[in-house]
Amino acid sequence: MNRNRWMGPGASVWGSGFRPFYLLGTLYAPLVLVGAAAALGGLVTLPATSGTPASWHGHEMIFGFAAALIVGTLLTALPSWAGTPEVRGGPLALLAGLWLAGRLAMWAGPWLPKAVCTAADLALVPALLALLGPAVWRARNRFFRWLVPILLAFAAANAVHHAGLLLHDPALSRLGLEAGVYTVVILFALMGGVLTPIFTGNATGGALPGMDLRLEILAAGSIALLAALDLCGAPPAWVGLAALGCAVVHAVRTARWRGWLVARQPLLSVMHLSFVWLVLAFVLRAVAGLTGLVSPAAWLHVFTVGSLGMMMLGLMTRVALRHTGRPLVVPVPMRFAYAAMFAAVPVRLAAEIHALPVAFLVAALLWVGAFAVFLLLFARALLAPSLPRAVPPRMVGS
């Protein structure tokens, strides 16, 4: 392939995975909410392959929006952390094109055969694994091998969702969405659980205890057990007890990272707060299973908005600053974006518990606004060449 075609004006966007995928993901965030709201209001008709407006919204949040930011982060982190070749130029454009094709298929389904829509939406993760899988599996640090089965599970969950839609089986399609969420939870807990203590340790001069491998295995295993019980339809009390176990294990794990030592550093505090929301999400799932006082869906929004939303904003800011040659100084508007994302969690939870339409709207505006601030601040940096740096980054956010 002629590399010169990727070296002209505007080619910087194809220089690293975070650039196109952070742009696409943040641009897509408001479209997902607007599309779902328009469908609920009867203003548009969703594709036959998309199910209900709630199903479409859930799918696009997990396999569209979240997938873009996850792929962008992995493509940027793995070359430094696992020593994999960096995906750039044509291969990166191919991945971005596959993501975009999946999104167009999920919007343009009425005019496309169902098989075409399904194939377009399922293509991204297999292509990503084809590019990264062999190198990750051969990496000297075997820790990163867990990415391969998690990404395979993520792709399988999407396939199950589409199978349910094609078979007109709402329960099967919902199972695929729930499985997709759990794969993201495990990915969040493992990847965030590596980055958060390392960055905190660097900032505090190594004031943290070393990694406890048994606790890390227990943390991942507790989520896997919860997912297995929940997805298999185990009795609510069993699911509640498993969720309670997750809450205890992850509370201990989070406390070991001593987030209070970096409370004045926004880039680190948002990462610690994201794990606090994770613990609360598990507590809510336990309350739902053991008492029925809250909906089982309550934990989902605490995770997706609080845990995932705050971690994404924090990592995206860190990566965008460091990997475009800028100092790790958080712009003041981003601090307000972090606050908006934090505030969106209790508002969204109140909307879920008390069925308040106004709260739904406020939470959506806070969530979209937080990502809009990132886009306004960093879109130009993501498109432009990086500023010169004396020492290249050794790792994401180093």
Per-residue pLDDT of the chain (398 residues; tens, 9 = 90+): 444 454 444 578 999 999 999 999 999 998 888 777 666 656 666 654 456 778 888 999 999 999 999 999 999 999 888 888 899 999 999 999 999 999 999 888 667 788 888 999 999 999 999 999 888 888 877 888 889 999 999 999 999 999 998 898 999 999 999 999 999 999 999 999 889 999 999 898 877 787 888 999 999 999 999 999 999 999 999 999 999 999 999 999 999 999 999 999 999 999 999 999 999 999 999 999 999 999 888 999 999 999 999 999 999 999 999 999 999 999 999 999 999 999 999 999 988 888 878 888 899 899 999 999 999 999 999 998 888 764 544 444 44
Q: Is the C-alpha dihedral spanning 107, 109, 112, 113 positive or negative?
A: positive
* Whole-angstrom distance, CA of residue 256 vs CA of residue 193: 11
Q: In this structure, is residue 3 part of a structural domain?
A: no
The tokens describing 62, both together, are 């997990």
Q: How far apart are CA 242 and CA 230, in angstroms?
A: 9
Q: What is the dihedral of CA 265, 316, 28, 363, to 10 degrees?
A: -20
17-49 pLDDT per residue, tens: 999 999 999 999 988 887 776 666 566 666 544
pTM of the model: 0.90
Number of structural domains found in the chain: 1
What pLDDT score does 396 carry? 45
Amino acid 142: pLDDT: 80
Report, in this order, helix, strand and coil percent for the chain, each rounded to 5.
80, 0, 20
* Alpha-carbon radius of gyration of the chain: 20
Asked if the structure places residue 2 within a domain, the reply is no
Q: Is residue 397 part of a domain?
A: no
For residue 195, tell me if it sits in a domain: yes
So what's the pLDDT on residue 9?
A: 45
Residue 28 in any domain: the answer is: yes
Q: Given this model, what pLDDT does residue 18 score?
A: 95
Segment 164-178, tens digit of pLDDT:
988 989 999 999 999
198, part of any domain: yes
The answer as to whether 1 is a domain residue is: no
Contacts of 236 (CB under 8 A, 6+ apart): 288, 289, 290, 292
- The answer to whether residue 121 is domain-embedded is yes
Supply the range of the domain harboring residue 194: 11-383
CATH of the domain at 341: 1.20.210.10
Give alpha helix (H) positions in 139-169.
Answer: 147-166
Write down the pLDDT at residue 398: 44
Identify which of 314, 327, 316 has the alpha carbon closest to the alpha carbon of residue 375: 316
Angle between helices 309-322 and 332-354 (to 10 degrees): 160
